[in-house]
Structure 1
Amino acid sequence: MSQMQLRRAVLSSYLGSLIEYYDFLLYATASAVVFNKVFFSSLDPLTATIASFGTLATGYIARPLGGVIFGHFGDLLGRKRMLLITMTLMGVASTLIGVLPTYSQVGVLAPIGLVLLRILQGISVGGEWGGAVLMSAEHATTRRGLWASFTNAGAPSGVVLSTAALTGTAAVVGDEAFLSWGWRIPFLLSILLLGVGLFVRLKVDETPAFKAVQTSEPRRRPPVLDVLRDHPRTLALGVGVGLSAFVAQATLTIFALSYGVGAGHSRQSILNALTLSSACAIVGILGWSAASDRFGRRPIVLVGALVMAVYGFLLFPLLDAQSNVLLVIALIVGQAVIHPMMYGPLAALYTELFSTESRYTGASLGYQLAGLGAGFTPLLFAQIQQSVGSGATLVISSTLAGFCLLTAACVLALKETNRRDLMPRDAVTVTLPTSA
């Protein structure tokens, strides 16, 4: 495969992921600072925040469904076709959120519409990730961990873009106008990003691995049955490996934003720190993923999970200190150094766990089931705050550590995957070099 196609595939995957996560995480940020006031204004502040985080969780619940639907057709019809559909679906859903009426205008219909569009977002991103990763990984002949990780780097890039859009809009129009109508502007910008993403994605060829499998014998059963019947242990361990990365991600972004405001930090200072740490996380994800090409996926993820288990007990004291310097340090260390060790190598790892014939389905389902951790973490931690009170942070840190130890156990139960060939079994095999 030509280097030109590899570059196009990586760029397409990165931009597609950035756009998808801009839309998906724009909602997450807005749920922490806007939606509790706009769509749940009839509730008291803490209950409204919990309700807002509840709608956030619906998107994560829908992601495995999107993984199964688009994974099925992606394994049958091709990766590229599904990626064009998922990007369009996300752009349209996010744009419609930008024109939704509020609770004060239409009552209960407002949060219902919000939930329905959030579900569409979840289905879209559930199908997007697997296809985007496969477009890069299946085009790569060397350094697969690095090239595949550009898709994962789209997530913090989306955080940077979405928080910058929200904070920039708030700074221009003012807080009162922002809560009234200004929050809609970043969502409406999604339609412009959609146009750019589709233009780039149309120039990418289908992957060599999928082309090769098209010449083999006809499929005898749906891809999801291949995964569930032939690889149940692999799927379960894959979910466990990724689960703590998503719990940590939600803790360091969505919940930290809500908690930090309650601890006395200004919303703007936290958003600024979050934007800076997310920008640094892009480098962390690419760096640790490249390291996984040399040292293996398992060692990098294992060390990251163990370090995060300890760091969770330091995070909240740093946030409680009400120092902007310590706030920035806390988020950069957590989000840009430790978390990328757990998260970056997952793109290649999930791709390498499954055969070509069911890879889109298997990788998507494993990743999106693990992603449920990010959907329920803010809701769970907010409820712990409400129930436990002053000792809540110890319980929250212990919960995070428990998920990290689960990941460590699942990593140890898996075999190393970084040298596996991604071509179909009956194709000519190529052994990947270990150098990064």
Structure 2
Amino acid sequence: MTNSERPAGDGPGQAVGGQPAAPPGRQARKVIVASLVGTSLEWYDFFLYATASAVVFNRLFFPTFNPVVGTLLAFSTAGIGFVARPLGGIIFGHFGDRVGRKQVLVVTLILMGGATFLIGLLPTYAAIGIWAPLLLGLLRFLQGIGLGGEWGGAVLMTLEHGDPKRRGFNASWPQVGVPVGNLLAAAVLGLLNGVLSEQDFLSWGWRVGFLLSGALVLVGLWIRLTIAESPLFAEVVDHGETSSMPLVEVIKRHPRGILVSMGLRIGTDVAFYTFTSYILVYLTTNLRLNRGVGLTAVLVGSAIELALIPLFGALSDRFGRRPVYAAGVVAAAIWGFVFFPLLDTRSTPLIVLAAVIGLMTHAAMYGPQAAFVAELFSTKLRYSGSAAYQLAGVVSGAIAPIVAIALYQSFGTAYAVSGYVLAMLLITLLAIVCAPETAHADLREEHPDTPVAPNPSPS
């Protein structure tokens, strides 16, 4: 193995950033577990809010509006989290590229868990009036700040440890935190919905899931504090190459990477939130079905996607990021036009099938996505580069359920929503066409999108 291929701390007793190194395989597995647990907890917090927006918050925090308007307002507060995520990416990206990945990940986990715990204690509109939705929006904003900083760090820790030939597989594990978090959120609310009466669920039952976050965060912190810093970042520090203004530098050196990473996310997010969040609104509001049907469909789909994300990450190591990602985009675009006719059958097995296949197509995109995005940027700027990825969420996942509701209200047909999903996926397909293949790139070498001007020769 050449020096450019060998991970830092590759042999027994080698040091990483001045620290004794564990055997590389064991250390990589430990980092993967820590990243998976941490991101699962953070996505549990984030999705718990999104799920509650569809089934609880519209009634408890916006009760003076009709059900459709109340749901739109509830999803609007959910969207605040997406607006905050780029800010979190910028703030924590700066420190992640300056002081290290590990320390930042500890802070983001505390911030996210604390905000979620406080939502569980929040009085409703009936108790404090307009302050209830305002405080709800503020806490959602803090959730978004935490998650915006979390994603990049968790991905980079897994990407920058271990075998370079398995980067797609390794970096896919933080992505698994999405279906795990979604699974946990749907399972907790589904269980509470099943064992409690409607009155008890609305009065106090929904709070249990948010309060659980406090205990879960302690577990995540204990695991996360035991891992070592990224070996590639440790090399940057040892060589004195950290950037003083990483955000400014990443804009100058990686403009294509910024645009491509945003495009990669737009269609992926819109498809995902259509298949997992809007499905709950569509089934309960338009088809008048029990909310348990939608929660069950999302639960089953998330469980299956959990196993598929690492598979597609591994396939991207073998066949490349671009072809695997593009296959997922095409499949999701087609499924968007099959999805709603299956829901309209009102058949629980077919509704579950609709969610399962939808999330399978998402897994094909989401598995290679983490490595694909991170590999677009150089090591010393990689954390800040992830902030650009977060920017796309403002015009994709943040508004996807809102746009879907508005389209259905305007056109009276779910095919309008399918067309919206298709249009956003075409943007992602264009980003794939414009992107370089990164699966076999050497992360120790810098590949700026724009040439760096040489220092002028003295006259």
TM-score, normalised by the number of residues in structure 1 = 0.95
2:406 to 383, 387, 390: 383
Separation of aligned partners in 2, 1:243 and 1:419? 25
1:365 equivalent to 2:391? Answer no
Moved over 6 A (4+): none
Measure how far apart 1:302 and its partner are: 0.8
Measure how far apart 1:371 and its partner are: 2.4
Matched residue, 1:432: none
1:332 to 343, 356, 359: 356
Measure how far apart 1:265 and its partner are: 2.7
Matched residue, 1:319: 343
The amino acid that maps onto 1:274 is V
User: Which has the larger displacement, 293-302 or 161-170?
Assistant: 161-170
Measure how far apart 1:122 and its partner are: 0.1
1:397 equivalent to 2:421? Answer no
1:18, 1:158 within 8 Å by CA — same for their partners in 2? yes
Matched residue, 1:17: 39
1:204-230 per-residue CA deviation (whole Å, 9 max, x = no partner) reads 000110100002245454111111112
C-alpha RMSD of the superposition: 1.3
Describe how 1:225-244 pairs up with structure 2 within 5 A. Answer: 225-244=248-267
Matched residue, 1:78: 100
Matched residue, 1:110: 132
The amino acid that maps onto 2:225 is L
The amino acid that maps onto 1:245 is T
SS of corresponding position for 1:36: helix
Separation of aligned partners in 2, 1:140 and 1:31? 39
Measure how far apart 1:140 and its partner are: 2.1
SS of corresponding position for 2:40: helix
Matched residue, 1:271: 295
2:429 to 405, 408, 413: 408
Matched residue, 1:222: 245
Matched residue, 1:305: 329
The amino acid that maps onto 1:27 is Y
Separation of aligned partners in 1, 2:139 and 2:288? 33
Separation of aligned partners in 2, 1:253 and 1:17? 18
**Which structure: larger Rg?**
2
Separation of aligned partners in 1, 2:243 and 2:408? 50
1:264, 1:322 within 8 Å by CA — same for their partners in 2? no
SS of corresponding position for 2:92: helix
Matched length: 422
1:295 to 311, 314, 319: 319
Cα distance change on mapping 1:220 and 1:26 into 2, 3 Å: closer
SS of corresponding position for 1:143: helix
1:373-417 per-residue CA deviation (whole Å, 9 max, x = no partner) reads 1111011111222222x23x1211111101111111110111100
Percent identical residues = 43
Separation of aligned partners in 2, 1:302 and 1:219? 34
1:196 equivalent to 2:215? Answer no
1:230-285 per-residue CA deviation (whole Å, 9 max, x = no partner) reads 21122111111121110111000000111012223321111111101101001111
1:94 equivalent to 2:103? Answer no
Unaligned runs of 5+ in 1: 427-436
Cα distance change on mapping 1:219 and 1:8 into 2, 3 Å: closer
SS of corresponding position for 2:397: helix
TM-score, normalised by the number of residues in structure 2 = 0.90
1:129-176 per-residue CA deviation (whole Å, 9 max, x = no partner) reads 000001101002231111110100000100110111111122222221
1:57 equivalent to 2:65? Answer no
Matched residue, 1:3: 25
Separation of aligned partners in 2, 1:57 and 1:220? 32
1:171 to 185, 189, 194: 194
Matched residue, 1:138: 160
2:168, 2:370 within 8 Å by CA — same for their partners in 1? yes
1:263, 1:322 within 8 Å by CA — same for their partners in 2? yes
Matched residue, 1:434: none
2:187, 2:299 within 8 Å by CA — same for their partners in 1? yes
Decide which structure has greater helix share.
1
Separation of aligned partners in 1, 2:35 and 2:444? 20
Measure how far apart 1:367 and its partner are: 2.4
1:94, 1:188 within 8 Å by CA — same for their partners in 2? yes
The amino acid that maps onto 2:119 is I
SS of corresponding position for 2:300: helix
2:376 to 338, 344, 353: 353
1:283 equivalent to 2:307? Answer yes
Separation of aligned partners in 1, 2:349 and 2:217? 36
Separation of aligned partners in 1, 2:212 and 2:29? 26
Matched residue, 1:430: none
